Amino acid sequence: LVQHIIENRMLNGETIRLDGAIRMAPK
């Protein structure tokens, strides 16, 4: 999963920002 995120980061930084926000958000 991390690898996929890294690839996405290179393709689209926005995608990572959204994913990061969700991960940081409390469950």
Residue 8 burial by CB count (10 A; 0-12/13-18/19+): exposed, middle or buried? Answer: middle
What confidence score (pLDDT) does residue 15 get?
66
pLDDT tens digits for 1-27?
788 777 766 666 676 677 777 787 776
- CA quadruple 21, 11, 5, 1: dihedral positive or negative? positive
pTM, rounded to two decimals: 0.28
- CA quadruple 15, 17, 19, 22: dihedral positive or negative? negative
Distance CA 4, CA 16 (A): 10
